[in-house]
Amino acid sequence: MSEVAVKEKEPLFSKKNKKLITDPLNDTNPVTIQVLGICSALAVTVKMDAALVMSMAVLAVLIAGNVIVSLMRNLIPGKIRIIVQLVVVAALVIIVDQVLKAFVYDVSKQLSVFVGLIITNCIIMGRLEAFALANKPWASALDGLGNGIGYGIILVVVAFFKELFGSGTLLGYEIFGNATDMTGLYAMGYENNGMMLLPPSSLVLVAIYIWIQKSRNPSLQEGH
Amino acid sequence: MAINKESNVYTVIFATLMVVVVGGVLAFISSSLKPIQEDNVRNEKKQLILKAIGSEETKSISREDAGAEFNKYVVERLILDYEGNILEGTRLTNETPVDIKSAKDAFAVDLQKEYKKFVQPLTNKYTGTDLVDELTKETNIHYPLFICQVNNKKHYVIPVMGKGLWAGVWGYIGLESDGRTISGAVFDHKSETPGLGAEISKDFFSDQFIKKTIVDQTGKYTPVKVVKPGTGVTEPYVDGISGGTFTSVGVDEMMNRTLAVYHKFFQKEEGKQLLTNI
């Protein structure tokens, strides 16, 4: 009963709860500051639509996983807690994969193996272990939401530049003209940057993002 | 009495219960979504076959509509063996609804399974004419053919299946009523690299095949090559995908290997009859 009493005292979107959402967007961003989940940020950012669906999938798994583990936090035996978390995440990812295959078949084909690889995304296990195991379901859900969006922002930003300069399109729409028919900018000799289609370019883009983010926020700079 | 959460008994019971619950939930979700997923796959196959005809009319049919429209355009379907002979009892008209469980239905042939089981072991071992010889001895491989009719014009759609860089690549090649000019092509893949090998599923790649022939002036079989621009081949060719070499080679190989069988078929009496009977 004590839980209910505390809940009543604390408004749903208290200052502390709001911080759970806003912090991961900037100060504690899982990708750029904690450098987690980098692998998928490098792999599925060639096209914007794939990056968007991937972000949504991670967001869904993160929120659901956080809530489930948080609800079970007083039952989970300490010895096997990592295995329990893994099973929860794996089950959720399989569900997401099955739902995508049934209802957004085309996108699920594009993402192919990367949906399954959400299981190994360090952000998810990291949040379960660091937050959901010690906090109440509502706070855990907000934490999942914040970190999921924080991850998604990076994916979408990186995908924006990679698709624009790598393929000359955004969400499939031709921005610079048609490369095969040589129209628009291509008629003037512009060429797509092939490097942008390859994973290494994401490293460069993420690094630039971190540079800008840290230079604007002195509290993130490490001392010498 | 409070339960000791750290005891071994509790841990084992917890783990067992969790596995049973999670297993049950996943089994339920999987089995309840399966019909929708299989429908998606089947309708996509129908959509690709219709798209491969190469006609404006069938190009824009969506995956949802393809299921119903399929029998309207695909008037006949049959299965060939490696020698290009029609297998007995496999010639079905569009009055027979598609039966995915029937071994005699061309639509039901699972090329991916057959490729993995029969073709891949051979392509790993042999190349060139040796491979052709070995494939001839392999009687388990089926070659479906879809005969379509759009605007009173006959088209043939041929499924092809091969290997890309990461996993399978496949496609459907549409031939005009002469059985030698390509009228349309579509390609798809399981998990080629997005932006590189995966580009084979784009129109700019598959449209290059249109109007190319698979037979030269003397009537000899000359498959359309997929090459790097400027390689100086004399046969009809299309540009491969830069950065997607393995995928392009896979497309080249599967078309070369498969179309040869259909070419044999069109040289035979049964095939010739089909060609003249427009």
Domain ranges of chain A: 30-208
A54 touches B: beta carbon within 8 Å: no
Q: Which residues of B touch A198 (CB under 8 A)?
A: 243
Angle among Cα A109, A40, B63 to the nearest 5 degrees reads 10
Residue pair B118/B64 in contact (Cβ under 8 Å)? The answer is no
Q: Which residue of A has its CA nearest to B208?
A: A180
Q: Which residues of B touch A103 (CB under 8 A)?
A: 36
Average of pLDDT values for B231-243?
80
Contacts made by residues B132-139, CB under 8 angstroms, sequence distance 24+: B132/B260, B135/B82, B135/B257, B136/B82, B136/B83, B138/B82, B139/B81, B139/B82
Q: State how far residue A24 is from chain B, nearest Cα, in angstroms.
A: 29
B276 vs B270 pLDDT, higher one: B270
A50 touches B: beta carbon within 8 Å: yes
Q: How many residues does chain A have?
A: 224
Q: Is the predicted pLDDT of residue B20 greater than 90, yes or no?
A: yes
Distance CA B131, CA B122 (A): 7
Average of pLDDT values for B12-16?
91
The tokens 């959509």 sit on which residue? B47
Residue pair A160/A152 in contact (Cβ under 8 Å)? The answer is no
Q: Tell if the CB–CB gap between B37 and A167 is shorter than 8 Å.
A: no
Distance CA A166, CA B48 (A): 28
Q: Tell if the CB–CB gap between B242 and A194 is shorter than 8 Å.
A: yes
Which residue of B25, B40, B186 to mutate against A (max A Cβ within 10 Å)? B40
- Helical (H) or strand (E) element with A75: none
- Backbone dihedral region of B140: left (phi > 0), alpha (psi from -120 to 50 degrees) or beta? alpha
Complex ipTM: 0.73
pTM for this predicted structure: 0.75
- Helical (H) or strand (E) element with B122: helix B120-125
Domain residue extents for chain B: 41-276
Q: Tell if the CB–CB gap between B22 and A91 is shorter than 8 Å.
A: yes
Q: Is the predicted pLDDT of residue B166 greater than 50, yes or no?
A: yes
Sequence-distant (≥ 6) Cβ neighbours of residue A59 within 8 angstroms: A144, A145, A148, A149, A151, A152
Residues of chain A with pLDDT under 70: 1-10, 112, 223-224
Residue pair A155/A161 in contact (Cβ under 8 Å)? The answer is no
Query: Is residue B199 helix, strand or coil?
Result: helix
The two structure tokens encoding residue B201? 């599923």
